[in-house]
Amino acid sequence: MTTESQTPQLSYEKPLPPVLELTKPFWDGCRESVLQFQFCNICDLPWFPPAEACPRCLQDDWEWRPISGHGTVWSWIRMWQKYFPGWSPDEYPYTVALIKLEEGPYMYSTLVEIEDKDVSCDLSVEVDFRKVNDEITLPVFRPMST
């Protein structure tokens, strides 16, 4: 193992999500490069962020199902303000995007494999994954491959 691959693990200071019983399948999926939403087994509605019941049926008869991972950039910003620890000075400004997934729900995320000057609203994107540690792999989005 090279120093390079150890260092990010040890020094990762950006916020990490707590894993709950409710959200564990989401993060388990990400680790296997599968993006999943909860879907209602009664009415087939997907929703995100996770919740204990279908917001339409109000029933807890739901399951995690893989989604396409395809969406569009609803909007995006470049964050200059230093609100959190963990971003090094040369990472500012960093990009945050709000992705509208094909299935309907929206997710905040970031964009990879694209320069800011090429980003625009409604850009077609697909999910990719970035491993942070043994538990957390974050879904990110890259321009849709043609």
Partner 1 sequence: MSNQPDRSALRNLQDKTAIVGVGTTEFGAIYRDLDPERSAYELGLIAFREALKDAGLKRTEVDGVIVSRLPHYGRMCEMIGLRHPRFANVLPGEGRQSGIALQYAALAVANGMADVVACIYGNNGRSAGAKYGGESRGISTQAMFEAPYGMTSPGAVTSMMFRRHQFRYGTTTEPLAHLAISNRANAALNPNAVMQRPLTMDDYHGARFIAEPLCLLDYCLINDGGVCFIVTSAERARDLKHPPVLLHATSQASDITPVYVADDFWHEPMSQIADDLFSYSDVQRDDLAFAQLYDNFTPTMLFTLEGMGFCEPGEGGDWITPERIGLHGELPLNTGGGHTSESYMQGWALHVEAVRQLRQKCGERQVDDAQYGLYACAAPLATGHILKRDDR
- Residues in contact with partner 1 by CB under 8 A are 14-18, 20, 23, 48-49, 74-81, 83-84, 87, 93-94, 96, 98, 105-110, 120-122, 136, 138
**Least distance from C-beta 15 to partner 1, angstroms?**
4
**Least distance from C-beta 32 to partner 1, angstroms?**
18
Q: Which is nearer to partner 1, 41 or 50 (CB)?
A: 50
Q: Which is nearer to partner 1, 3 or 120 (CB)?
A: 120
CA distances from 97 to 27, 119, 126 (A): 20, 10, 13
Q: Which is nearer to partner 1, 3 or 134 (CB)?
A: 134
Nearest to 128 by CA among 145, 103, 115, 116: 145
Q: Which is nearer to partner 1, 5 or 55 (CB)?
A: 55
